[in-house]
Structure 1
Amino acid sequence: MDVTFAQVHSLAPGMNDEYAAGFGAADVNDILSRYRISDNGLRLAHFFAQMLEETGGFHVQIESLRYSPSRLMEVWPHRFPTIDIAGQYAYNEEKLGNYVYGGRLGNTNPGDGFRYRGRGLLQITGRASYARYGQQLGIDLEGNPELAFHRDHCLEIAAAEWAASGYGGKTCNQLADRDDIVGVTYAINGGQTGIRDRRLWLAKTKPVWVRPASAVASDTMTSRANANLEAAMVAAPDVAAALAVAPAPAAAAASVAAAVPATPGGFGARAASVALGNGAGSASRPMISPDTPPISDTRKERIRTTGMWANTGRTGLATVLSPGGIAAFHGPRHSFPGS
């Protein structure tokens, strides 16, 4: 499943230039495929939702550590149990970074906490992560942390982190397959910070890459109908020939009707009558003429439940297969009288 720049832009039209260049690069789909993210729409939807939340809609390149005292108590409640303690670090990014990240995440040297704060599409954090993904991808991230959000590297770094992260014994791809946003968020964030925004972003990314169940069901019905049509063509080669040479929907209808005579007054004959213009109504909603005998409920139900309806491949031309014969008409499937 390929991703286009237009799709990404539709989600974040105000993204910064660096990220825009990254998503507009020629290797975007190669990267997504390499890490199996583009295997299905759910993976893409979750991956992009997490990136969009981490970067505030593809704006943030470097983690901001400029917090108010109350916000510090919300984000790190164990580190800042009181307003007085939080006040000592509020609005001081370097001091805060070294306090909350120092001595962990591979940050062993003085100043590492602030130096290796979050950067890029998934905000990689900690000297160990910069060293790991830099070595894996052949980028000097440890020596030059700013490369984490560079247009040439940002997407692959995020994809590599996604692939390496997991929760509850499952990878991010597996969690996305289960549509488990809580699990994916634990894997990427280490907690549930911003879960509400992540859900909101997921609600926006899903319509871009995840097809509704109704569309999948429609494809299933179309496949069954096409199989029915092919079987009918094998049984009646004259019909296949008629459809192949018909230059237009009306001509195709006439050819099919001539090739396979329908039982007078039967369902196939009535369909042919509509196709040839003998019925009243518009092209988008053909109707049976008032003097045409009504289609029995039993036969309508048979058509509905067996799916004996197929698209010939010509726009607006459908073929009805029924015990009464084979007929074609011009109009969408749902508009056939009695359907």
Structure 2
Amino acid sequence: MSVSSSRRFRAAIAAAAVLATALGAGTAAADADPAPTPQTRFHEPRELLRALNVDELAASGWTTAKDSESDDPAAPSGEEPAPAEPAPGPPPPVTHEDLARIVPGMPPEKIDQYLAPLNDAMIHHGIDTPVRQAAFIAQLAVESDSFRTFEEYASGHAYEGRADLGNTQPGDGARFKGRGAIQVTGRHNYEKVSEHTGVDFVANPELLAAPENAFTTAAWYWTSRNLNAVAENEGIVRVSELVNGGHNALDRRIADFQRGLDVLLQP
């Protein structure tokens, strides 16, 4: 019932009380007997309510003020509102199915393990279009043997004394051989990626091959060479030259790139 109904109910109680008092007073005035006027049967409030038969009034639609207030949608319910569910975030750049199709040779257990850090690296480094993503994944797939390893199979002795890589100290070739999802190589690159990430890969070069670092460092290498722009403006061959230094496995890189585009451009 509405608040106005509650008010009418209270008004009915007040009217009944006034009527009862008036009846008692009228009896005393008409009676010449000076004896004290007897008390009305509504002397106690509970008697008045009993006489009004609140149960019958409620059955006919009357409500108390408390009931009316509880029906008021603006009134506080006394219960904490249920927390709103958070809005769903954007879909990941690449799904499990996408990655399995782009890199057919990738072991399924590796997809489960590496999908989240791969997507995080792309999101945080602006690798955010199908062309950029397809080029990035194609290079990583070749450099890491379809994500089977984050450390170069060769010993690294071939890089010994390579001043262009910063390998100026004895043992630098093997110490700073290719590691990570894109095979970061050479003392100079290890120093730069250490500055970028805050992880000392120069003192601990093996950490660059850890899965939690492999994709972050690959994305660093990618953006440090501005390869997003190269992929979109110069093509996959030029990207491959800047990643690998030549045309090693170029056919495979092109094929993986094209397959990535076919998958990521699907509606």
TM-score by length of 2: 0.59
Change (3 A) 1:146 1:177: same
How far, CA to CA, are the matches of 1:47 and 1:15 in structure 2? 19
Structure with bigger gyration radius: 2
Pick aligned residue for 1:61 from 147, 150, 154: 150
Superposition map of 1:238-249 within 5 A? none
- Aligned letter for 2:93? D
Give the structure 2 partner of residue 33 of structure 1.
123
The alignment status of 1:180 with 2:235, answered yes or no, reads yes
Confirm or deny: 8 A CA contact 1:42 1:176 kept in the other structure.
Answer: yes
Confirm or deny: 8 A CA contact 2:96 2:111 kept in the other structure.
Answer: no
Deviation at residue 149 of structure 1 after TM alignment: 2.2
Confirm or deny: 8 A CA contact 1:5 1:24 kept in the other structure.
Answer: no
The alignment status of 1:145 with 2:201, answered yes or no, reads no
User: Could you say which structure has the higher strand fraction?
Assistant: 1
The alignment status of 1:103 with 2:151, answered yes or no, reads no
Change (3 A) 1:19 1:102: farther
Confirm or deny: 8 A CA contact 2:156 2:176 kept in the other structure.
Answer: no
The alignment status of 1:5 with 2:96, answered yes or no, reads yes
- Aligned letter for 1:7? D
RMSD: 2.4
Q: Give SS of 1:119's match.
A: coil
In the alignment, structure 1 segments of 5+ residues that lack a partner are: 66-92, 166-170, 216-339
Q: Deviations over 1:279-301 (max 9, x none)?
A: xxxxxxxxxxxxxxxxxxxxxxx
Confirm or deny: 8 A CA contact 1:43 1:177 kept in the other structure.
Answer: yes
- Structure 1 segments (4+ residues) deviating >4 Å: 16-20
Deviation at residue 156 of structure 1 after TM alignment: 1.0
Confirm or deny: 8 A CA contact 1:41 1:210 kept in the other structure.
Answer: yes
Confirm or deny: 8 A CA contact 2:152 2:177 kept in the other structure.
Answer: yes
Deviation at residue 56 of structure 1 after TM alignment: 1.6
Confirm or deny: 8 A CA contact 2:201 2:207 kept in the other structure.
Answer: yes
Q: Give SS of 1:118's match.
A: coil
Deviation at residue 41 of structure 1 after TM alignment: 0.5
User: Could you say which structure has the higher helix fraction?
Assistant: 2
Aligned residues: 175
- Aligned letter for 2:240? T
Give the structure 2 partner of residue 164 of structure 1.
224
Q: Deviations over 1:184-218 (max 9, x none)?
A: 1122112222211111211221222134xxx6xxx
How far, CA to CA, are the matches of 2:134 and 2:97 in structure 1? 15
How far, CA to CA, are the matches of 1:109 and 1:19 in structure 2? 38
Deviation at residue 179 of structure 1 after TM alignment: 6.2
How far, CA to CA, are the matches of 1:149 and 1:210 in structure 2? 31
Q: Give SS of 2:211's match.
A: coil
- Aligned letter for 1:181? I
Q: Kindly indicate whether structure 1 or structure 2 has the higher relative contact order, using CA contacts under 8 Å at least 6 residues apart.
A: 2
How far, CA to CA, are the matches of 1:130 and 1:16 in structure 2? 30
How far, CA to CA, are the matches of 1:95 and 1:151 in structure 2? 24
How far, CA to CA, are the matches of 1:63 and 1:209 in structure 2? 29
How far, CA to CA, are the matches of 1:137 and 1:50 in structure 2? 21
Superposition map of 1:159-238 within 5 A? 159-165=219-225, 171-178=226-233, 180-211=235-266
Q: Give SS of 1:121's match.
A: coil
Q: Give SS of 2:238's match.
A: helix
Change (3 A) 1:32 1:62: same
How far, CA to CA, are the matches of 1:204 and 1:210 in structure 2? 10
TM-score by length of 1: 0.47
Confirm or deny: 8 A CA contact 1:19 1:154 kept in the other structure.
Answer: no
